Amino acid sequence: MTDGAILSMDAASTHRAGVLLGRVVEAGDVIALAGGLGAGKTALVQGLAAGLEVAGHVPSPTFNILLVHPGIRPLNHFDLYRLERPEQLVDIDFWETLESDGVSAIEWADRFPGELPADRLDVVIDVVDETTRTLRPQGTGPRSRVLARRWLDAWDADVRGVRR
């Protein structure tokens, strides 16, 4: 951890960060992901799915826009890359899905910032080099600030070898 950020040295570390996030999320949590193509958004969500005990492969929902995966809590996995206008969110029941009892992970959430819930965990993934990423979580409300702290604490404990 570095100043409220997670330093991931490779795709496996990004996946591991997602697993740890999956262990601290609760029903109704929204994770808004931003980062360029190939930054690791899907790898993080795949780890999140593993932390939620989702069985099977979790692909990027680029062409489906939304995939729902059953686990200990449903994982609502959005990819907003192909959407052009906020009005298109109505067609995929975006807001209703966010208010469900699942956990929602939104790739390319920064395309429609005005449509996101006020209390969400924003995660910006910055590419440092070919394999290294910096994951910067920022809670935007009371619940998401707690979530960000729990995730960073879990990462710090995991890096130090303290298993929970």
DSSP symbols for 21-82: HHHH--TT-EEEEE--TTSSHHHHHHHHHHHTT--S-----TTTSEEEE-SSS-EEEEE-TT
21 has pLDDT over 70: yes
CATH superfamily of domain region 6-159: P-loop containing nucleotide triphosphate hydrolases (3.40.50.300)
Predicted local distance difference test score (pLDDT) of residue 1: 41
> Which two structure tokens, joined as six digits, stand for 42?
């899907």
At 46-58, the pLDDT tens digits run: 999 999 999 988 9
Q: Are 123 and 110 in contact (CB under 8 A)?
A: no
Can you give the pTM of this predicted structure? 0.93
Average pLDDT value for residue range 147-160:
95
94 has pLDDT over 70: yes
Distance, in Å, from the CA atom of 55 to the CA atom of 46, rounded to the nearest integer, reads 11
Predicted local distance difference test score (pLDDT) of residue 60: 82
Q: Which helix (H) or strand (E) holds 137?
A: strand 133-139
At 115-142, the pLDDT tens digits run: 999 999 999 999 999 999 999 999 999 9
- The region, left, alpha or beta by phi > 0 then psi within -120 to 50, assigned to residue 108 is left
Q: Which neighbouring-strand residues pair with 99?
A: none
Predicted local distance difference test score (pLDDT) of residue 44: 97
163 has pLDDT over 70: no
**Pairing, β 121-127 against β 133-139:** antiparallel
CB neighbours of 16 closer than 8 A, spacing ≥ 6? 47, 158
Backbone angles phi, psi at 142, to 5 degrees: -60, -50
164 has pLDDT over 50: no
Distance, in Å, from the CA atom of 81 to the CA atom of 53, rounded to the nearest integer, reads 26
77 has pLDDT over 60: yes
